[in-house]
Amino acid sequence: MKKIILLLCFAISLSAQAQILRVGPKVGVHVSRSNYEDREFQKDYRRIPAMAFHAGMVMNVKVSDIFSLQTELLYQENRKHIESELLGDWLKERYRYLSLPALIRVTFPMGHNEIYVNAGPNISYWLGGKGEIMHSEVYDFDLETLKYEIIFGGRTDDYRYVVDSPNRFQLGLDIGMGAVFPLGAKYLMVDLRFTAGHTNMVKKEVKYLPLSFYEDNLLHSQQVLSLSLAYILNFDFHELNTKGKSTGKQKER
């Protein structure tokens, strides 16, 4: 936690020295997988990477040719898919998030292009989700699979389940690399990133499905590998200030 606070302080100091601001929309796909706290449970169930999407806005504050701060606001869906090694039962869940990474970037200019590496904390807010399970007990509902909604308040019924003591705010660490290519006066950013989640979905072990013999729990974090594209607009504050001063001098004359 101390390292994350130091990174945030350094990021704030960088933004105060901003020379160039880059903003634009960002879209991408990612593969997520659950990392369970219970290692024995993890041995009994095969964790299958599941693909989802993310979209939002990106802002990069460039203070030099080398250092910059990048923040983003993203809508993101992470998916969980596990299967029993013995019985073949499976569960699929989809979690919806608002995600806010804060990354320190080191850039290596290569002609008109840029190659970069970055790292920093990622704070996500869990909005809710949906799930589907295939299990022998589901047949008691006269269904082949049971589909349900994940909520954080209200009444639990056969198709809507309340998660007790959830960690709505979740912390992770982003590490990645990418490239920036000029497109006339605009830029295209290609970003590859790995997010290691450090916060479990809940504060304590809970079973929120009404199935007596199903052992899944939410004591797991998320691991995510993402690939995204961003269309970037560039604003050079130094150039704008220089033009303003130049125009002022001409008027005085």
Tens-place pLDDT, residues 44-92:
888 999 999 999 999 999 888 899 999 999 999 999 999 987 777 888 9
Whether 61 maps to a domain, the answer reads: yes
In a domain, 107, yes or no: yes
Going along 113-245, which residue ranges are E strands?
Answer: 113-134, 146-151, 160-162, 169-183, 186-197, 220-236
The answer to whether 72 touches 99, Cβ cutoff 8 Å, is: yes
Task: Tell me whether residue 130 is in a domain.
Answer: yes
Q: Residue 213: its pLDDT value, please?
A: 60
Q: Judge whether 132 and 143 are in contact, CB under 8 Å.
A: no
Give the mean model confidence (pLDDT) for residues 136-146.
Answer: 76
Residue 252 lies in a domain: no
Domain assignment of residue 217, yes or no: yes
pLDDT of residue 28: 98
pTM given for the model: 0.82
- Using a 10 angstrom Cβ sphere, with 0-12 exposed, 13-18 middle and 19 or more buried, the burial of residue 246 is exposed
Domain that holds residue 203: 2-247
What is the tally of structural domains in the chain?
1
The answer to whether residue 253 sits within a structural domain is: no
115: in domain: yes
Confidence class of residue 245 from pLDDT cuts 50, 70 and 90?
low
> What type of residue is 97?
Y
Residue 150 maps to a domain: yes
140 is written with which tokens? 């008691």
